[in-house]
Structure 1
Amino acid sequence: MQQAGVRQATAPVSVGGLLGWLALAALAPGAAHLRAGWRKTGLVLISCYAAGLLALLALWLLTDSGNLLGSLTADSWLTTITVGAGVLGLAWFVLIVHSFVVLRPGRLPQSGQIVAGTLAGLLAVLVVVPFGAVGQTVLTYQKTLNDIFQNNPDDDESPAVAQPKPDDPWAGRQRVNILLLGGDADDNRIGVRTDSMNLASIDVKTGNTVLFSLPRNLENVRFRPGTPMALRFPDGFRLPPDPGGGRSDLLNSVWEYADAHPEIFGGKQRQGARVLMDTIGYTLGVKVDWYALVNMWGFARLIDAIGGITLTVETDVVFGKYNEGLVKAGTRRLKGADAMWYARSRTNTDDYIRMRRQRCVMGALLDQADPLTVLTRFNKIALATKELIRTDIPRPMFNQLVPLALKVKNAKVASVQFVPPLINTGYPDWEKIRDIASKAIRDSAAKRPAVAATAPAAPTGSASPAGSASPKVPASPSPKKTPKQSSQNPLKGLTEGCGGAL
């Protein structure tokens, strides 16, 4: 008679049968235990596994995906995921080993035991690999975020910003304004020269975005009254010409100049970011919340990390000191270096065509950097991003920017380029720039087509768009007439005109 409590099991008839049950146990914990007669253990394992899957499914279905992903970027959650991956990996390893034992491989012939034991050991190691990969990826992600986004940004470099609150992470703001800068670093250049300047104004509810592109060669830049730069340059940013005839007093030189002259700020160092943010915010009539400075070569590595981007190059783009480089015309997938030179080169063209190309590259990145691509190439993207970005966005705010970025990807993204004939870069009409920016933001928020550039200016004292400042921008003298504006709408889709004739 069989003793009570002794589990009965029928030995697997072959090595293949035993390994098959082990493989099934790796996918459905408890299956091998049920086969071996360990009914209670098997049912508990399967029940816990099913309950875990259902809980994850419910969490995904019942929680907004953007908010969920944003929450998962918090340090506490990232640490929990890393530790959890390690614990689950160890648990799965133990599960495979114990499943092998309860299946009683000793009933197999000796040669079968050796084969089964070897393959079972390999399987036990293999099931740990996915958990290890998850833990390593999350650690890389966490380190990258903490390297780029600081918990306490340098007060000397950027203005203080309100920390997010659980009930209202945007502190009542309807829009967030982020200054996106392209840094044109050079071995022979001291400081930062920002040759690409775009302000993204984002509606926090809808994700509707207006991208304002400002030309690098904007002259007579005005500074907010009362600031140290305004006291130094009361009639606009103007310096004597360089020895070679060039100018170092254009908009793209503001950061560099402020960094090089700490005496203007009472000896405070690294004021370039703060000054440029305030200057562009004053020019457009908005409050700039944060900036992100993109290194051009890091940008190329980012494009390589996602596998390149597909672009239509309208005509051959020449680049290089001796015009030795060429990005050929046609529609194809460009690697990072070619995409960067397409966006950067001014050979045989001008700043304004380059600004349009930059807008096209941004649009291609927004369209083609889908979540699946980001996940499958995450480590490469993380390494490229670490070298790509310098920013003053606080680390806690990143949790809120993730769901906002997902909204932007599926929302209406328009752009305004402040280039001739819309404005005269030598003698800008500052009031007009502000009026166009104000209208573009209102129209983006209202989801209706923008009015033409020649529409009447808003009356003095009218309400400014949410998130904007309200100082009156002084008009500059206009010895030269600004070219007559067309009635063409200045607010365009981000990729409008991309792939068309120059």
Structure 2
Amino acid sequence: MTALTATASPMRYPDAGSRTLMTRRAWWLVVLNVLIPGSPQVLAGNRRLGRFGLGTTLALWALVVVLAGLWFFARTVVYSIFSNSITLWVIAAVLLFYAVTWVILSLDTLRLVRFVRTAPSARAWIAALTVALMVGLSGSAAYGAYLATTASGFLSSVFQAGPSVPPIDGKYNILLLGGDAGPDRDGLRPDSISVVSVDANTGRAVMIGLPRDLENAPFSPGPMADKYPQGYGYDDTCDVDVCQLNSIYTEVELKSPDMYPDAAKNGSQPGIEAMRDVAEGITGLPIQYYVLIDMQGFSDLIDALGGVDITVTERVPLGGDEDLNGVAEWFEPGKQHMDGYHATWYARSRHGTSDYDRMARQRQLQDAVLKQFNPTNVLAKFQGIAAAGAQVVKTDIPQSMLGYFVDLASKTKEIPVTNVEMVPPTVDPTDPDYGVIQAMVKAAVFPPSPTPSAE
């Protein structure tokens, strides 16, 4: 090696007799390995390995730039990429590839450092920093791969494979059911029944609450409309003990599931399809999708989230009978942080308040849980959340629509939600006027355009 060569390429041909120079060179190699993986090998080691490392680094940078561009100009595409189970497996494979690549490049960088030539006082620090950065980069990539595979499993277990459907009259209408499969019940019964109508362009949402004790509810055309042409429970006629709105699910599931033979094939259940038909009949809105939330399973999900913050507005008993005997404890008014057990009891408590209060508490709990779904919380507790969520949520929303709905939901958060509650004194559940109800829904979902003021 000539002096000219050593001067021209101090990284590859350093003066090994100078500890100061070798120490400085070692720090540069470690830093370059983090900033531009592959560059230490190109400068001081195996150039073939270095070119491979640089190629993978440049490919990663290009991918990040593309994703950043999509985030600012086509955010729905990003949401769609990260809400597809197959794509998530591809992402996991790519992240594992980079995790292994960074380990190989980091270990090779340690070899190129040539510790015995560096200052003794710097050796431990150089090694510690290199290992820490290697573990940080590779560990983060490996953890990202783990999250991707977990998310893929969650999406596959909850969401169906199916084509996207267009909005109807510019709206997506979704049936929300809060199911209560308590130990004292024969099957699940939806105690919280709502229809949310979302404008497909602006994200403006209207939440329509349907009391579970509505009587004589009409159905949209279908098998239940044929069976109950004058409404469900008309003249006290039905196949279960109580002929009210939330009994429809139980009746169809237990007595006549053959009325909806294609329900399972379409990612639904006969009882859910009957509830869809009655919700359409009540509101006059076509309903594209449903979401069923099992309130009994909510406890695990809430614990996985680390609890929820709820503002209690009135005293609510935990346990006890109709006369409030045997109450274990009380939920006192004020802000409270509740674990899963207490939160679900708060939402399901039956005594001391009305059914309409109970409906409101269930929606309050659902809103509180949604607020807990922030990126930091979800990433930190993703495994538990995904495991619990798969047991709590059932829906026929296809994976192909998830990206669109996530983007639409971000718009909805910026606009106040319009609530339409079919409760007394506006609506008498025992003698409802469904013409009035549909007029209320139409006015809320399709508000008249403001008339320009005359100048």
Q: TM-score, normalised by structure 1?
A: 0.74
Partner of 2:206: 210
1:410 aligns with 2:418: no
Are 1:335 and 2:334 counterparts?
no
Distance 1:283 1:10, change over 3 A: farther
Three-state SS of the structure 1 residue aligned to 2:402 is helix
Deviation at 1:129, TM superposition (A): 1.1
Q: Is the 8 A contact 1:9 1:36 kept in 2?
A: no
Distance 1:387 1:75 in 2: 18
3-state SS of 1:176 partner: strand
Counterpart CA distance in 1 for 2:45 and 2:251 is 78
Q: 1:115 to 1:209 in 2, by over 3 A?
A: closer
Match of 2:250 among 244, 256, 259: 256
- Deviation of the 1:383 alpha carbon: 1.6
SS at match of 1:311: strand
Given the alignment of the two structures, is residue 72 of structure 1 paired with residue 77 of structure 2, yes or no?
A: no
CA distance in 1, matches of 2:450, 2:138: 50
Q: Which residue does 1:439 correspond to in 2?
A: 443
User: 1:122-155 deviations in whole A, cap 9, x for unaligned?
Assistant: 7645532111100000000000000111226xxx
- Name the residue aligned to 2:2: 2
Residue 183 of structure 2 corresponds to residue 137 of structure 1: no
AA aligned opposite 2:247: S
Aligned equivalent of 2:299: 300
Please give the secondary structure, in 2, of the residue aligned with 1:332: strand
Distance 1:446 1:10 in 2: 80
SS at match of 1:127: helix
CA distance in 2, matches of 1:115, 1:363: 49
Q: CA shift at 1:272, angstroms? A: 1.1
Moved more, 401-410 or 421-430: 401-410
Residues of 2 paired with 1:341 and 1:263: CA distance?
31
Counterpart of 2:92 in structure 1 is: 82
Q: CA, structure 1 residues 224+110, in 2 after alignment: closer, same or farther (shift >3 Å)?
A: closer
Partner of 1:53: 61
Q: Name the structure 2 match of 1:229.
A: 224
- Compute the displacement of 1:32 (Å): 4.3
Unpaired runs of at least 5, structure 2: 264-268, 321-325
Larger mean Cα displacement after TM superposition, 414-423 or 38-47: 38-47
| CA shift for structure 1 position 290 | 1.2
CA distance in 2, matches of 1:232, 1:50: 65
Do the aligned partners of 1:208 and 1:411 also contact (CA within 8 Å) in 2? yes
Secondary structure of 1:421 counterpart: coil
Contact residue 8 and residue 37 of structure 1 kept, 8 A: no
Matches within 5 A, 1:315-334: 315-321=314-320, 322-334=326-338
Contact 1:300 1:339 in 2 (8 A): yes
Residue type matched to 2:232 in 1? Answer: F
1:366 deviates by 4.3
Q: Report what 2:101 is aligned to.
A: 91
Displacement, 1:20? 7.7
Corresponding pairs, count: 429
SS in 1 for 2:233: coil
CA contact (8 A) 1:295 1:389 kept: yes
Report the Cα distance in structure 2 between the residues aligned to 1:116 and 1:266, rounded to whole angstroms. 68
1:348 Cα offset (Å): 0.7
Aligned to 2:403: 399
| 3-state SS, counterpart of residue 446 of structure 2 | helix
Query: Partner residue of 1:178?
Result: 174
Question: What are the superposed Cα offsets for residues 408-428 of structure 1, whole Å, 9 maximum, x if unpaired?
Answer: 222331211100001000011
Contact 2:85 2:153 in 1 (8 A): no
> 1:199 aligns to what SS in structure 2?
strand
SS of residue paired to 1:412: coil
Judge conservation of contact 1:140–1:379 (CA < 8 Å) in 2.
yes
Contact 2:44 2:112 in 1 (8 A): yes
Bigger mean CA offset, 431-440 vs 302-311: 302-311
CA–CA distance in structure 2, aligned partners of residues 303 and 44 of structure 1: 46
| Kept in 2: contact 1:10–1:36 (CA 8 A) | no
Of residues 23, 29, 50, the one that matches 2:37 is 29
Q: C-alpha root-mean-square deviation of aligned residues, in Å?
A: 3.7
The question of whether the paired residues in 2 share the 8 Å contact of 1:367 and 1:409 is answered with no
Write 1 or 2 for the structure with the bigger share of helix. Answer: 2
- Aligned residues with identical type, % of pairs: 29
Contact 1:241 1:247 in 2 (8 A): no
Distance across 1 between alignment mates of 2:403 and 2:41? 42
Task: Give the TM-score normalised by structure 2.
Answer: 0.81
**CA deviation digits over 1:90-133, x for unaligned, max 9?**
11011101211222234359999899778856764553211110
Distance 1:250 1:275 in 2: 13
> Aligned letter for 2:30?
L
